[in-house]
Amino acid sequence: MSKSSHHRGFLFSNKYQKKFVCVDFYTYICKTTFKIKVYMKISKFITSIFFLITFFSFFSCEKKTIQKPDNTIVVNDTIYDFMDINWVLVSGRLYMQNLDNGSKRVYDHFGGSQNQSSLDPINGSAVPFDDITKSVTIWRFTSTNFILNGGNFYNFTHTGNTISVVGLENGSSRPITITDINNTAMTVKVNEDYVSSNGINYKIFSTLTFVKQGQTCNSCEPNVIYGYTYNGVFSNTTSQNSIVGTKWVVTKYYDGFSNNYPNDTLYFATGTQYTINGGTYKSYNSVTNMGNNMTTLTLYGFYTIGGDYSGMVPNTFVSDGQINSSIFTDVFNTNNDKLIWMTRIQ
């Protein structure tokens, strides 16, 4: 073979070799591009599936919030009505924690012959709300107010399971926490406070159990709170038990300027209501203070001396039949103190 023919053969071979290389490279590029497109589509598909799984998992696992109107209470994801119902008090407990030594004790408000008590038996009731009587005290919540015993009207606020009765006679309020409720009964925690007796400091609160008026419920009162030792009925001897049904004449009062002789007649019709000269019912409370042998007598609407007044009288005033020169103070601190003389006539 001549040199020229050999050179032409090499060129011919190199020419087609380049062509085949190009074809192979092109094929490789096409295959690679196809694979990339396939991988991208698969990736998008997987991403979409993952998103859908996450989306449905989130909403299927999300806890549903119970929507409730303002006239209901939710306990254990169950909705209960509490408004426009007459709640009758059937039992109550007083919890006391000794802040000096840490001991915790619990007492019954009622038991035996004791049917009346106070949410603050240490210092005595400050307002009618604090005075409680088994099977007599009635609470009612309406869309406009809170009604106590069918005759005392107050405003209240409601957030969750907490209610606050506001605008009481001395300007204070009483927060209430509903701790348990069902279709028949309701238990609340109320009057959490700090008090002192005989030099010992206590933290106190009460739990009260009510049933719907006209219904009965056995063993509705919850168990005693863990950590408290039961100590029987709290001795809260009140003069209400003996003052009910008695009549008294206000023979004299001194207002800081002169003596006055109204001779108005007070009749204590029930454990919480009295009248003046046979007029409309007004609220009162009479609670013995622990440790000082005195009773706090609070008369609301006592227009004989000009308003709402409260005074300390001896525990024996009912049997003595006399109140002599006892100081009565305006509940709202807007009027002068008055010295009162009263005589029992019935």
Tens of pLDDT along 164-207?
Answer: 999 887 788 999 999 988 889 999 999 999 988 888 999 999 99
Question: Which residue is associated with the tokens 């709202």?
Answer: 332
Q: What is the pLDDT of residue 193?
A: 93
Residue 255 and residue 339: Cα distance in Å, rounded?
7
Residue 304 and residue 287: Cα distance in Å, rounded?
22
Residues in the chain with pLDDT < 70? 1-80, 236-242, 289-291
The token duo for 229 is 């030792």
Q: With CA atoms as reference, report the closest residue to 285 among 89, 152, 147.
A: 152
Q: What is the pLDDT of residue 12?
A: 43
Per-residue buried b or exposed e for 100-127, using 16+ beta carbons within 10 Å of the residue's own CB = eeeeebbbbbbeeebbbbbbbbbbbbbb
Torsion of CA 46, 51, 54, 57, to 10 degrees: -100
Q: N- to C-terminal Cα distance for the chain?
A: 157
DSSP-derived pairing of the beta strands 185-197 and 294-302 = unpaired
Q: What is the pLDDT of residue 198?
A: 82
Residue 312 and residue 123: Cα distance in Å, rounded?
11
Q: What is the pLDDT of residue 35?
A: 54
C-beta separation of 107 from 233 below 8 A: yes
Q: What is the pLDDT of residue 20?
A: 46
SS3 assignment, position 174: strand
C-beta separation of 182 from 188 below 8 A: no
Q: Measured in whole angstroms, how far is the alpha carbon of residue 130 from the centre of its chain?
A: 14
* pTM check: above 0.75: no
Q: What is the pLDDT of residue 308?
A: 92
Q: What one-character DSSP code corresponds to residue 333? A: S
Q: What is the pLDDT of residue 304?
A: 95
Q: What is the pLDDT of residue 277?
A: 94
Q: What is the pLDDT of residue 70?
A: 54
